[in-house]
Amino acid sequence: MFPNNVPIPLPGGLHGPLPRFIEVGQKLSTETVEDLDATIAQEFAKFSHIDLKGKTIAIGIGSRGIKPQADVVHALLRELKAVGAEPFLFPAMGSHGGGSAEGQEGVLAEYGYTEAAYGVPVKASMDVVQVGALEDDTPIYCDKIAYGADFIIPVNRVKPHTSFRGTYESGLCKMLAIGVSKHAGAAALHFHGFAHFHHLIPEAAQVSLDNTNVLFGVGMVENSLEDLRTVEFVSPENYLERDAALQELAKISIPQLLIKDIDVLIVDQIGKNISGAGMDPNVTGRCGAGMPGFDKGLSIGRVVIRDLTDKTQGNASGMGTADVTTQRMLKKIDWTKTYTNMVTAGVINGGKLPIVADTDRDAFGIAVRGCPGVSTEKARIVRVRNTLELTTIWVSETLLSVIENDPQFVIKSKPFELDFDVDNALQGEIKL
């Protein structure tokens, strides 16, 4: 059993004077769908020529914390029920949730996707049906329960992936290729490594489209506040084309750090509900799979992660891209969930344990020491709640010259000292 506490017998000297901080707003994309119900009704009407009365509809829900998804799914269910369809929800999350039906149903329940809340059954199984194969004989699978339904509707956020770059990254194609295909399908594709995902994802998605009854895909793009920027019901005929177009929109809409030169980035929480990589490499520039194309001019010396989210249920995937963490986070790690996720994905580095500090204050000191030639009082430090919520951040006063005359930023406070309690735990939350 791995210990949930690692004693750190480091000598003193970790607590040099830190700079003061400033609360700063980042001006990121905020465009949003004004009337969701009307938009969903309009999108659903594109398929009014299909008779759905009495038809079973399997709606695939993933393991991500997608803020607008609940409202989208409720609206979708209303439209389906209005035409007499018989919808149900199923977990479409590859190997997540510990790779078990119970675990995946538990992930959905954690996000509120239950029969009581949505008025439709939730059907979870890890059984699959092989629906085809790629040219190299890589098998393509589909959830057996979903395959047995009259139609399938994959629902997913479209956004840049956390481990590779391509025309199709994290979106509708990936939901079919990996999410709907459960653990068996996820393992089959991940066997090839992320270096091949730029072609494997669309190829696998096309095999699935050709051999299953996908009614349409629900593609959502969020703005920087995690609100819905756009939602589109995508037909099988236009699936790849529209997934690629939504991907381009997502790339200019996602949260990001507008400060590009940072000595220490402090991340309050990581988790699977924040990003598939725990913390989004599109924000940090650090890709656990080692693939290029993520830094985009961003330079971060060291990364500190302070804690896990509750909704990640102990899954600390992605922690290996950080340099320092805390005893607080270590005590919450579920190693089975973390290792199952990392091994299945083939991203071994993402499961490595960073240096463990006894306290937040020690963690910050260790991180600064890891930046050659940088003293604590002069360190350029940025603190974020997580890599999804970036409209408000804390910035060390040493970065004031970078932000004070830049219209992308709004200074929201006077300089203040960081507040630590008697146990050297950082006090105060970032208020968005």
The model's confidence at residue 10, banded by pLDDT at 50, 70 and 90, is low
Q: Are 271 and 312 in contact (CB under 8 A)?
A: yes
Convert the pLDDT of each residue in 309-320 to its tens digit: 998 999 999 999
* Own/partner pairs, 242-248, CB within 8 angstroms, 24+ separation: 242/172, 243/158, 243/168, 243/171, 243/172, 243/173, 243/205, 243/217, 243/219, 244/167, 244/168, 246/158, 246/171, 246/172, 246/219, 246/221, 247/158, 247/159, 247/160, 247/167, 247/168, 247/169, 247/171
For residues 128 and 196, state if they share a domain: yes
Give the distance between the most distant pair of CA atoms in the chain.
73
| CB of 306 closer than 8 Å to CB of 364 | no
Query: What strands, in cross-sheet order, belong to the sheet with 217-222?
Result: 86-91, 56-61, 151-157, 217-222, 228-234
Class of residue 113 by CB neighbours under 10 A (exposed 0-12, middle 13-18, buried 19+): buried
DSSP 281: H
Q: What beta strand segments (E) does 223-272 contain?
A: 228-234, 261-270
Position 145: which residue type?
I
Residue from 66, 82, 69, 84 nearest 36 by CA = 69
Residues 314 and 193 placed together within one structural domain of the fold: no
> What's the pLDDT score for residue 3?
65
Give the model confidence (pLDDT) of 161-174 as tens digits: 877 888 999 999 99
User: Are residues 263 and 242 part of one domain?
Assistant: no
41 found inside a domain:
yes
Nearest-angstrom CA–CA distance, 125 and 273: 21
CA dist., res. 333 & res. 338, Å (int): 8
In a domain, 14, yes or no: no
Between strands 355-357 and 324-326, the pairing is: parallel
Note whether 233 and 375 are same-domain residues: no
Q: Kindly state whether residue 420 falls inside one of the protein's structural domains.
A: no
Give helix then strand counts, H and E, for the chain.
14, 15
- DSSP state, 314? T
pLDDT at 91: 96
Q: Indicate whether 332 belongs to any domain.
A: yes
The whole-model pTM stands at 0.74
Q: How many domains does the chain have?
A: 2
Q: What is the pLDDT of residue 130?
A: 98
pLDDT of residue 38: 97
Q: What pLDDT band is residue 2 in, cutting at 50, 70 and 90? A: low
Distance between CA 83 and CA 210 in Å, rounded? 26
155 and 50 share one domain: yes
Name the DSSP class of 258. S
Burial label for 405, CB within 10 Å (0-12, 13-18, 19+), is exposed
**Element housing 140 (H / E):** strand 139-143
Q: Which residue has the higher pLDDT, 12 or 370?
A: 370
pLDDT of residue 9: 62
- Does the residue 15 lie in any domain? no
Distance in angstroms (rounded) separating the CA atoms of residues 57 and 147: 10
Within a domain: 72: yes
Q: What is the pLDDT of residues 262-289, one digit of tens each?
A: 999 999 999 988 888 899 888 998 888 7
341 within domain boundaries: yes
CA distances from 411 to 28, 32, 204, 259, 400 (A): 15, 24, 47, 14, 9
Asked whether the beta carbons of 416 and 422 are under 8 A apart, the reply is no
Q: Phi, psi at residue 5, to the nearest 5°?
A: -150, 125
Q: Are residues 352 and 375 in the same domain?
A: yes
Range with lowest mean pLDDT among 10-14, 127-131, 173-177, 196-200: 10-14
Handedness of CA 105, 130, 169, 264 (dihedral sign): positive
Which residues make beta-bridge pairs with 307?
269
* Domain assignment of residue 303, yes or no: yes
Picking from 380, 419, 379, the residue whose alpha carbon sits closest to that of residue 403 is: 380
Q: Are residues 125 and 241 in the same domain?
A: yes
Asked if the model's pLDDT at residue 4 lies above 80, the reply is no
Whether 184 and 297 share a structural domain = no
Query: Is residue 163 domain-shared with residue 144, that is, in the same domain?
Result: yes
How many percent of the chain have pLDDT more than 70? 97
| Res 16: pLDDT | 81
Higher pLDDT: 173 or 13? It is 173
Instruction: Of 220, 193, 228, 151, give the one whose Cα is nearest residue 345.
Output: 193
Q: What's the chain's average pLDDT? A: 92
Pair 164, 63 in one domain: yes
Domain edge (last residue) among 211, 228, 251:
251
Give the range of the structural domain holding residue 210, as residue numbers without chain letter: 36-251
**The 3-state secondary structure of 99-130, one letter per residue:** HCHHHHHHHHHHCCCCHHHHCCCECCCCCEEE
CATH number at residue 242: 3.40.50.11440
Final residue in a domain of this structure, among 205, 232, 251: 251
Summarised one tens digit per residue, pLDDT across range 75-92 is 999 999 999 999 999 999
- Residue 196 confidence (pLDDT): 92
Would the pLDDT of 14 be above 90?
no
Q: Look at residue 13 and tell me whether its pLDDT is greater than 60.
A: no
Q: Is the pLDDT of residue 331 over 80?
A: yes
pLDDT surpasses 90 at 219: yes
Average pLDDT over residues 11-35: 87
Question: Do 119 and 243 fall into the same domain?
Answer: yes
The two structure tokens encoding residue 150: 């009259």
What DSSP assignment string belongs to 333-391? --HHHHHHHHHHHT-GGGG---EEESSHHHHHHHHHHTSTT--GGG--EEEES-SS--S
8-11 LR contacts (CB < 8 Å, sep 24+):
8/356, 8/357, 8/358, 8/362, 10/362, 10/366
Q: Count of alpha carbons within 13 Å of 374, Cβ hemisphere only?
A: 23
128 and 72 co-located in one domain = yes
